């Protein structure tokens, strides 16, 4: 039997398995075989049909992401992973193959910070994966390609750069959401007595009360001014980060992976926290 005839027979057999319906995920090996034969549009159709009946399948989404990646559609592949993460928080950490595809897409899209975070997750979950060495080299190369920031001269007076408050909040929510439910995010401007809140509108008030009590306690005991605060109850976890006169407050379900939340929050507040006025127009709430 020729190679072409063998490949056609293989696809026919796998298609028969799908039609028989005995295995609800028989479409996955069919898509894999179509990919091996570079029949990406056909594989994509198979994936969409298969996932229509099983949207939460981690193996199925992983196969779809591989097809999209092989087609060079990396942005769409990442969107599929993010949808799965919202439905099943932590899925990408548990499914090493899916995290691997996520990292490869981020590298192709030149997303340096995101790729470094995904790489750290891979190193934690599967430190002996032989693919890690090549991926580390790709991430290092990607980092080297990013232009270095020129050091300002003594005559320069650069204005602080940061995202608009609403954009910052959306970016933070998108980073934390895969880990668990985000109840609310607030950005409080103590100097201008303004706040931007998404979610529970009592969050800014709760944060202000918590911060006052913690700051006073630290001052009374001679321990300085707290920059990072964490309060966890049976119903909520509240994180407060202070940067100058800005206070960021994040509230999530209790039991969320605090280590990963800490990494995300400290990285984003260190790099992107708006340093000017908190907001303008109807985004601003006086308190």
* Confidence (pLDDT) at 201: 64
* Confidence (pLDDT) at 65: 94
Residue 153 lies in a domain: no
* Confidence (pLDDT) at 192: 65
pLDDT tens digits, one per residue of 200-250? 667 666 766 776 777 777 778 887 777 677 777 887 888 878 777 777 888
Structural domain range at position 227 = 165-286
209 and 141 co-located in one domain: no
* Confidence (pLDDT) at 276: 44
44 and 134 co-located in one domain: yes
74 and 124 co-located in one domain: yes
Q: How many structural domains comprise the chain? A: 2
118 and 219 co-located in one domain: no
27 and 139 co-located in one domain: yes
Residue 88 lies in a domain: yes
Residue 159 lies in a domain: no
Series of mean pLDDT values for 10-residue runs along the chain (287 residues): 75 87 86 92 93 85 93 91 72 68 89 84 80 86 67 36 60 78 77 68 67 75 75 80 77 78 75 46 37
99 and 14 co-located in one domain: yes
Residue 158 lies in a domain: no
136 and 218 co-located in one domain: no
Residue 160 lies in a domain: no
Residue 155 lies in a domain: no
* Confidence (pLDDT) at 204: 60
* Confidence (pLDDT) at 159: 29
* Confidence (pLDDT) at 28: 92
Take residue 240 and report the two structure tokens written for it.
């407060």
* Confidence (pLDDT) at 195: 65
Among candidate residues 145, 173, 198, the one where a domain is terminated: 145
193 and 125 co-located in one domain: no
Take residue 132 and report the two structure tokens written for it.
């890690």
Residue 194 lies in a domain: yes
Residue 151 lies in a domain: no
In whole angstroms, give the CA distance from residue 132 to residue 127: 8
In whole angstroms, give the CA distance from residue 58 to residue 84: 8
71 and 127 co-located in one domain: yes
């Amino acid at each position: 039997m020729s190679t072409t005839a063998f490949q056609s027979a293989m696809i026919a057999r796998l298609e028969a398995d799908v039609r028989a319906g005995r295995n609800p995920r028989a479409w996955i090996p069919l898509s894999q075989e179509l990919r091996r034969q570079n029949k990406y549009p056909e594989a994509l159709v198979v994936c969409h049909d298969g996932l229509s009946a099983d949207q939460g399948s981690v193996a199925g989404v992983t196969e779809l992401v591989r097809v999209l990646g092989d087609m060079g559609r990396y942005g769409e592949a990442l969107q599929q992973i993010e949808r799965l993460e919202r439905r099943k928080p932590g899925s990408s950490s548990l499914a090493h193959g899916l995290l691997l595809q996520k990292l490869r897409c981020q590298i192709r899209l030149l997303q340096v910070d995101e790729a470094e975070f995904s790489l750290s997750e891979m190193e934690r979950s599967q430190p002996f994966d032989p693919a890690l060495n090549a991926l580390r080299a790709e991430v290092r190369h990607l980092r080297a390609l990013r232009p270095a920031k020129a050091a300002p001269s003594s005559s320069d007076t650069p204005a602080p750069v940061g995202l608009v408050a609403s954009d910052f909040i959306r970016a933070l929510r998108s980073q934390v959401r895969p880990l668990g439910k985000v109840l609310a995010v607030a950005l409080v401007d103590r100097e201008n007595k303004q706040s931007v809140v998404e979610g529970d509108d009592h969050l800014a008030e709760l944060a202000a009360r918590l911060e006052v009590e913690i700051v006073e306690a630290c001052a009374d005991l001679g321990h300085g001014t707290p920059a990072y605060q964490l309060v966890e109850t049976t119903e909520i976890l509240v994180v407060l980060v202070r940067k100058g006169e800005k206070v960021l407050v994040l509230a999530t379900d209790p039991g969320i992976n605090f280590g990963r939340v800490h990494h995300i929050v400290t990285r984003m507040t260190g790099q992107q926290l708006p340093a000017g006025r908190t907001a303008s127009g109807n985004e601003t709430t006086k308190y």
